[in-house]
């Protein structure tokens, strides 16, 4: 049993719903009690979908348990098939139905329908949402393509040359409730098309079962989100010989590496190599003198596997930040995140407990947090700027404007989204410096709230944990005044150091002179 106040991922059947809702001509009959229908709002409210998810919940009740719940399942399947006429039917159960073992998938298969039926067994007491999405996409792909395995020759990535046409690829992994998937797909398709590569199928987002059957018309697969598509990509490679890409095109370096990888796999010469460096504004914006102050900014990263790993690379190599913390809630990608952390001399934080993440954040004292919506809230409480880089989805993560994370435009978006909160930090500093000027309007506060601006409070208050150790030390008026003049973002550190120094010298008072003594001592 695990005490959970808030969780990064939903149950695995919500993952299955993400696949079903992303696609066309599919219906999902879910053996589940009425409360589970809450999941519809994830799509209709968070993603602002104008359609209900294609899901029929059996909504069995306690009184049904004594009778024949299997009959109830069959009734719901029959009605759903008649009403929605899906080309493929997904059948599964949520946590409670798993316990009563009606085996709805097997029941559906015995009902004599001629459409393909995918029996989803998603263990609700050990697995989570992303796993459920991945497994559903895999089972669906396998069901729709398994009969073609024997009759189809292994697909050579060079096949397009023999066929005398442009190379074709599939883009696999984008789904509803995935972070900026809608726009990433547009960006990646644009990049591929500029290189003379056609998109055969995008799936699951916007695909129908017919499209899944057409996957093997492409030469290779682009595995855009490993959390969702890696298992399917591996199956397609094993059974059809289809190669798939490993690089996630988030950030300039990764996007270029991704383009290289696709070209290498397809045996397509890359002719515009030099051009690629200039496709995004990020490299120049990062190089311009205005960005000097970004150097060595301490950044804490937590999110899903795909976005955390990419963020660490961009932060370090493309923006010149110092990564002081890295972690993920995606246990399936823990290995890769650990490896990335190791390269940065860090130990990865792998957890589903947001309070642990908040603690780690406090300990590392970052100047910027890149995280999920939960880290945004934690960071707000700590007065640290934050940018959201990963699911779980929030209505704010589905912006009206075009806002990808991947490719050239994605890099532009990332530069703005990560740096602007810091700009506000600099502005905060200016406000602090100029606040004694007569032109200054009292009450000028930034989005960070009061935490960063209230100098007096900060100087006078004893931090909780410091209370005992600092007992007896008094800041004199001159010492306090001097501390006020120090930029807010280093003030905390200066205060702690000076007090440490005062204790070590057995001083009971800190004046402006003590402050300078301490400064000299520590420098």
Partner 1 sequence: MSKVDFNKETGPREVFCGLTSIVWLHRRMPDAFFLVVGSRTCAHLIQSAAGVMIFAEPRFGTAILEEKDLAGLADAHEELDRVVNDLIARRPEIKTLFLVGSCPSEVIKLDLATVAEKLNKRFLGQVRFVNYSGSGIETTFTQGEDGALKALIPLMESTDEAKLLLVGTLANNVEDRFKKIFRNLGISNIESFPPRQSTELPKIGKNTKVLLTQPYLSDTVRDLKHRGCEIISAPFPLGIEGSTEWFLAAAKAFKISELKVHEIISPLINRAKLALESHKEILKGKRLFLLPESQLEISLARFLHNECEMDLIEVGTPYLNKDLMKEEINLLPDNTKIVEGQHVEKQLDRVRKSNPDLVVCGMGLANPLEAEGISTKWSIEMVFSPIHGIDQAADLAALFSKPLRRNQILTSKTLVTH
Where does this chain bind partner 1 (CB under 8 A)?
1-7, 9-11, 13-14, 33-42, 44-45, 48-52, 56-62, 64-65, 76, 79, 83, 94-96, 99-100, 123-126, 128, 355, 373-374, 377, 381
Task: Using the minimum distance from each CB to partner 1, give the nearer residue, 123 or 487.
Answer: 123
Residue 105, φ and ψ in degrees, nearest 5: -60, -45
Shortest spacing between CB 368 and partner 1, in angstroms = 19
Cα 217 to the center of its chain, rounded Å: 31
Between residues 377 and 429, which has the closer beta carbon with respect to partner 1? 377
Shortest Å distance, C-beta 29 to partner 1: 10
Report how far apart the first and last C-alpha atoms of the chain are (Å, whole number): 50
φ, ψ of residue 428 to 5 degrees: the values are -55, -45
Q: Pick the closer one to partner 1 by CB: 80 or 191.
A: 80
Tell me whether residue 323 or residue 361 sits nearer to partner 1 (CB atom): 361
Distance CA 415, CA 112 (A): 55
Instruction: Locate the DSSP E strands across 357-408.
Output: 368-371, 386-388
Is residue 129 within 8 Å of residue 330, measured between CB atoms? no
Q: Return the number of the residue (1 or 289) whose C-beta is nearest partner 1.
A: 1
- Which residue of the set 290, 457, 462, 463 is catalytic? 290
291 vs 293: CA distance, rounded Å:
5
Residues in the chain: 523
Give least dist CB 384 to partner 1, A. 15
Secondary structure class of 200 (helix, strand, coil): strand
Least distance from C-beta 506 to partner 1, angstroms?
A: 37
Residue 444: count other Cβ atoms within 10 Å of its Cβ. Answer: 12
> Least distance (Å) from partner 1 to the CB of residue 404?
24
Compute the least distance from the CB of residue 130 to partner 1, in Å: 12
- To the nearest 10 degrees (0 to 180), the angle between helices 181-194 and 252-266 is 50
Distances (CA, A) of 144 to 14, 191, 216, 248, 350: 22, 29, 11, 27, 35
- Per the annotation, the verdict on 290 as an active-site residue is yes
DSSP 246-312: ----BSHHHHHHHHHHHHHHHT-----HHHHTTSSSHHHHHHSGGGGGGTT-EEEEEE-HHHHHHHH
Min. distance of Cβ 66 from partner 1 in angstroms?
11
Q: Which helix (H) or strand (E) holds 137?
A: helix 129-145
Residue closer to partner 1 (CB basis): 39 or 203: 39
**Residues involved in catalysis:** 290
């Amino acid at each position: 049993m695990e005490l959970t106040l808030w969780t990064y991922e939903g149950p695995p059947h919500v993952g299955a719903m993400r696949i079903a809702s992303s696609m066309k001509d599919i219906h999902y009959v879910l053996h589940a009690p009425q409360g589970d229908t809450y999941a519809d709002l994830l799509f209709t409210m968070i993603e602002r979908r104008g359609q209900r998810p294609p899901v029929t919940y059996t909504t069995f009740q306690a009184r049904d348990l004594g009778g024949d719940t299997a009959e109830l399942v069959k009734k719901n399947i029959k009605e759903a098939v008649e009403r929605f006429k899906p080309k493929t039917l997904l059948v599964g159960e949520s946590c409670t139905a798993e316990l009563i073992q009606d085996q709805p998938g097997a029941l559906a298969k015995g009902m004599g329908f001629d459409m393909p039926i995918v029996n989803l067994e998603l263990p609700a007491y050990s697995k989570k949402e992303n796993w459920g999405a991945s497994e559903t996409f895999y089972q669906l792909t396998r069901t729709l393509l398994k009969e073609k395995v024997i009759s189809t020759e292994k697909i050579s990535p060079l096949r397009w040359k023999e066929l005398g046409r442009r190379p074709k690829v599939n883009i696999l992994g984008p789904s509803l409730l995935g972070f900026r998937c809608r726009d990433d797909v547009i960006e990646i398709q644009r990049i591929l098309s500029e290189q003379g590569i056609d998109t055969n199928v995008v799936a699951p987002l916007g695909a129908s079962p017919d499209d899944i059957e057409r996957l093997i018309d492409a030469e290779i697969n682009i595995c855009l989100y490993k959390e969702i598509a890696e298992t399917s990509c591996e199956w397609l490679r094993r059974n059809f010989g289809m190669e798939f890409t490993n690089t996630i095109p988030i950030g300039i370096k990764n996007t270029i590496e991704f383009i290289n990888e696709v070209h290498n796999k397809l045996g397509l010469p890359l002719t515009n190599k030099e051009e690629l460096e200039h496709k995004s504004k990020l490299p120049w914006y990062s190089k311009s003198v205005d960005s000097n102050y970004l150097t060595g900014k301490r950044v804490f990263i937590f999110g899903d596997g795909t976005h955390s790993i990419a963020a660490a690379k961009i932060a370090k190599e493309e923006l010149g930040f110092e990564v002081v913390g890295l972690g993920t809630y995606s246990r399936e990608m823990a290995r890769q995140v650990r490896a990335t952390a190791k390269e940065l001399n860090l130990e990865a934080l792998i957890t589903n407990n947001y309070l642990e993440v908040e603690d780690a954040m406090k300990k590392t004292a970052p100047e910027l947090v890149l995280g999920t919506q939960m880290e945004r809230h934690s960071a707000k409480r700590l007065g640290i700027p934050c940018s959201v880089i990963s699911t779980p989805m929030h209505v704010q993560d589905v912006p009206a404007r075009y806002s990808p994370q991947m490719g050239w435009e994605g890099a532009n978006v990332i530069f703005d989204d990560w740096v602007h909160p810091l700009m506000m930090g600099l502005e905060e500093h200016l406000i602090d410096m100029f606040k004694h000027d007569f032109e200054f309007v009292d009450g000028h506060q930034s989005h960070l709230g009061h935490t960063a601006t209230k100098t007096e409070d900060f100087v006078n208050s004893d931090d909780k944990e410091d209370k005992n150790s600092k007992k007896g030390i008094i800041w004199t008026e001159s010492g306090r005044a001097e501390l006020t003049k120090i930029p807010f973002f280093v003030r905390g550190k200066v205060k702690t150091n000076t007090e440490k120094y005062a204790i070590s010298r057995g001083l009971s008072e800190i004046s402006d002179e003590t402050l300078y003594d301490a400064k000299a001592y520590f420098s």
